[in-house]
C-alpha cells in the first residue's frame, strides 16, 4: 500500500512539502543522532521554494518525465559540521508539490534506495 504523510506548510506560497512514511522513519532515526537535521531540512525547503530542482552542482536530476522530476541533493547538516546528508525528492511541476522519498547519510549508505524510487514512480 502506498501513502504520503502530509507536512505542515511553512511558507506563504502554495508549495507543498510531503513525504513518504519511509522518509519519515529515516528522518526520525537520523534526527536522534543529528539534532540539527530538522532545521537543516527547513533551510532546504526555503531554497526549494525559489529553485524547485535546485541550482549548482549539489543537485542532480536522476529521473525526468513530463510531470515529475526526481532530484538527489546534498544537505549540509550542522550537527555533522556541514558534512552532507543526501535527500531524494520528487518535484511535481503541474501541482508545484514536493515529495521527500529518501534520506541517508553518505557514511552509512553509499547510494539512494532505487527500489523505493521505482515504487514511488510506479504509484504516482
Average pLDDT over residues 108-124: 92
Indicate whether 4 pLDDT > 60.
no
Mean pLDDT, rounded, of the chain: 86
Asked which of 37-46, 81-90, 93-102 is least confident by mean pLDDT, the reply is: 81-90
Question: Given pLDDT bands bounded at 50, 70 and 90, which one contains residue 14?
Answer: very low
Q: CA–CA separation, 42 vs 65, rounded Å?
A: 27
- Is residue 83 a contact partner of residue 104, using CB atoms and an 8 Å limit? no
Where do the DSSP E strands lie in 1-124?
Answer: 5-6, 16-19, 59-64, 68-77, 83-92, 97-105
Question: Given pLDDT bands bounded at 50, 70 and 90, which one contains residue 84?
Answer: confident
pLDDT, position 103: 95
pLDDT, position 24: 96
Cα-based distances in Å from 69 to 16, 56, 78, 89: 15, 16, 27, 8
The per-residue pLDDT for range 20-65, each reduced to its tens digit, is: 999 999 999 999 999 999 999 999 999 998 999 988 899 999 999 9
> Which domains, and CATH codes, for the chain?
13-123 (3.30.2310.20)
Question: Given pLDDT bands bounded at 50, 70 and 90, which one contains residue 3?
Answer: low
Amino acid at each position: 500500500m502506498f501513502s504520503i504523510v502530509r507536512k505542515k506548510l511553512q511558507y506563504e506560497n502554495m508549495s507543498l512539502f510531503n513525504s513518504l512514511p519511509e522518509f519519515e522513519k529515516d528522518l526520525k532515526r537520523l534526527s536522534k543522532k543529528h539534532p540539527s537535521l530538522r532545521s537543516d531540512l527547513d533551510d532546504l525547503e526555503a531554497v526549494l521554494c525559489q529553485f524547485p530542482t535546485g541550482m549548482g552542482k549539489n543537485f542532480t536530476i536522476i529521473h525526468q518525465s513530463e510531470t515529475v522530476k526526481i532530484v538527489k541533493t546534498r544537505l549540509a547538516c550542522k550537527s555533522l559540521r556541514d558534512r552532507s546528508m543526501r535527500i531524494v525528492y520528487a518535484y511535481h511541476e503541474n501541482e508545484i508539490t514536493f515529495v521527500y522519498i529518501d534520506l541517508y547519510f553518505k557514511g552509512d549508505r553509499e547510494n539512494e534506495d532505487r527500489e523505493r524510487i521505482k515504487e514511488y514512480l510506479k504509484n504516482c
